[in-house]
Structure 1
């Protein structure tokens, strides 16, 4: 793919949580005339997954080309009936690195396809952190996730569309098919629809290994008034921690919204190991305590924002395949800040220096190793197993699990409405 660039003239709409996101996506799929492209880390066979299943099958039956791509680690328990009915309807379902279980354990942990993207007819795109699972809805209960996505129209959708076509081409059809498909859709050229400048950025294990991190660093370095980062899995690299501390020391209002009620306890433990370094530099930390935080959003000053799938942890910054949009738009920045400020005011606890444990010899030693781990992890990650971004047709995998799984209960009419398997770093 070509070098990323800013595109003017876009309209962007913030979608908070599944209540805003799912109806818009399903409506767009039902209105599709020619093509639907979807990538998601998680697709569960619960009430949300079944709604997506119905929408894409209906679209495929009326002649819309539907390509649905899921991650093999994030979506491991889809039933045979769920998969086969999509294929029979004409949906092209593919799986990124399905892997096989060894003694019941999934070993395909590294280099996950973690993106969450939808493109409809090459004219409408959705990018964010929301998966297709019921735990993104409030009625799921105390473990319902707080998350964000954006709906986009305008010239930047052309680039997102080309990226998605290229991703589908890697499923075995190759670049010749990609060129034919791109030629068929060449008449789709999006005219300006709004005032936002936008850039689509990805992280992969080939040419774009640190693009998202570099844009975060550039935004932090140039901030003059405020920085607000809401991130579910916060254990960033050494450089990002250093720039946050520098920004706070030069008078920038730096705020972090992190998990106070994490879906995995280790998430809070890892982040809290950084609290001393950040608080003593003037960074303000807020723990979101209402339910698990799953968002991956940030803003600086009154212009720059980002929304996407990338956490600020070693998996997202050094291993996984990720996608974010960068946004230069005062109106969107103000809306996102208002929603995050509401979160901090109504549902967060601000961490105070007095809340931290006193320094000890062990904490100093642990801090030393943590900082150097963060500093060198990107280099070490190159030695971990690499997964090329290839997709496998779903019927060729062993995704269907034993009849006792929640997925098969759903396929037999016992739909688990508010149950979703736990998945690492979603």
Structure 2
């Protein structure tokens, strides 16, 4: 890892400028502002890029950058962005932008088999970066009568952006080794504002290359926590290993709180999630169902000391069948800010699941549906990334 390492952990780089980001108008304003100030190169990699108003606003900013002779590279997932028609992405290529789809292992007109590129990041001039769970599209933005899906990310200015630039090039080149990636930051910098100074490390999951760094982070959070763990996850289906880690944390007296969605864009997943509720409640885990618009965030905090944030959902699809990108952050003020936001969501924007009420209202028919949903999704996750194509695929 480049940069000034933390004395306690060589994977971490200290003295990074960081700022918590939330989905919505302010997020896209910063995204476009970063693009507009680019001088040398831009790397945008995202699971879903929607051809809607927000997608066009970002596209216009990227095209303006290309006309300033900035080298722009856009990589989107072949399944997640299948709604991106040729008529839309032609504008990229016509203006000198390098654009391509991340391809699966196998696909046909109706089926898709293989890993997803689920990571979401923007790197500008190897100097500024965003790592997030937020895709490009109206549903992640604030529109009249349509609040953004709840999601989070982090803005980073510092040497970690050089590392992310190199990772972006590795992904763009289909994971071929690159000796001289163009990732030297400019000599001058622009101050985009930051709230904290933190120690940061980049974490990846990629089952093809046997990288399970984010999974290891979650194991460390649950295994080392002394008092409290908060997990916000949009598709919370923990596998056996994570369930054992949760059980171990609870045995040590650690308070474990999980924030999930009360409703989803994919109802089958919500049924599968609720199948897990009985087990979680027996362990003493506090479950909160977010009652606002769709919850899409992915993060976890540990004792107000450190945390992880990015594209990783707590399920086997993210753990074993996707390319995921998170950053771990050590900064008490930053983690305190995140914890405060999570506490606000739990107290004002969510309903806690009561064990007695859940058991009373979750009859045998509901339990059967939930069991089937859980087993079906576990099978799909075990087989790998497999989709039956839909007309309007939803983000995750």
Tell me which of 125, 130, 140 is aligned to 1:126. 130
Shift of the 22–249 alpha-carbon distance from structure 1 to 2, 3 Å rule, reads same
Equivalent in the alignment of 2:393: 423
What TM-score does the superposition give when structure 1 sets the normalisation length?
0.81
What TM-score does the superposition give when structure 2 sets the normalisation length?
0.86
Equivalent in the alignment of 1:400: none
Pairs within 5 Å for 1:208-287: 208-287=210-289
Q: Secondary structure at the match of 2:265?
A: coil
Shift of the 238–188 alpha-carbon distance from structure 1 to 2, 3 Å rule, reads farther
Equivalent in the alignment of 1:405: none
Whether the 8 Å CA contact 2:271–2:374 is kept in 1: the answer is no
Tell me which of 301, 309, 318 is aligned to 1:307. 309
Is structure 2 residue 121 aligned with structure 1 residue 117?
A: yes
Shift of the 51–377 alpha-carbon distance from structure 1 to 2, 3 Å rule, reads closer
Equivalent in the alignment of 1:54: 60
**1:150-206 deviation digits (Å, cap 9, x = unpaired):** 1001222221111012222228xx64xx334x2x44466999x96311110111133
CA distance in 1 between counterparts of 2:40 and 2:354 reads: 54
Q: How far apart are 1:141 and its partner, in Å?
A: 4.2
CA distance in 1 between counterparts of 2:351 and 2:385 reads: 39
Is structure 2 residue 80 aligned with structure 1 residue 74?
A: yes
Tell me which of 16, 23, 26 is aligned to 1:17. 23
**1:102-124 deviation digits (Å, cap 9, x = unpaired):** 2xx3x125411111010000000
Whether the 8 Å CA contact 2:228–2:302 is kept in 1: the answer is yes
Pairs within 5 Å for 1:90-239: 90-97=96-103, 102=109, 105=110, 107-139=111-143, 141=145, 144-170=148-174, 175=177, 178-180=178-180, 182=181, 184-186=182-184, 195-239=197-241
Tell me which of 337, 341, 363 is aligned to 1:335. 337
Whether the 8 Å CA contact 2:46–2:77 is kept in 1: the answer is yes
Pairs within 5 Å for 1:31-42: 31-42=37-48
Q: Which runs of 5 or more residues in structure 2 are unaligned?
A: 3-8
Equivalent in the alignment of 1:412: none
Q: Secondary structure at the match of 1:195?
A: strand
Whether the 8 Å CA contact 1:10–1:195 is kept in 2: the answer is yes
CA distance in 2 between counterparts of 1:264 and 1:188 reads: 44
Q: How far apart are 1:360 and its partner, in Å?
A: 8.7
CA distance in 2 between counterparts of 1:190 and 1:224 reads: 42
Q: Number of residues paired by the alignment? A: 378
CA distance in 1 between counterparts of 2:10 and 2:26 reads: 29
**1:283-307 deviation digits (Å, cap 9, x = unpaired):** 1000001111000011010111111
**1:89-109 deviation digits (Å, cap 9, x = unpaired):** 11000101177652xx3x125
Is structure 2 residue 294 aligned with structure 1 residue 288?
A: no
- Name whichever structure is richer in strand by fraction: 2
Compare relative contact order (CA 8 Å, sep 6+) and give the higher one, 1 or 2: 1
Quote the RMSD (CA, aligned, Å). 3.2
Shift of the 58–247 alpha-carbon distance from structure 1 to 2, 3 Å rule, reads same
Q: Secondary structure at the match of 1:206?
A: helix
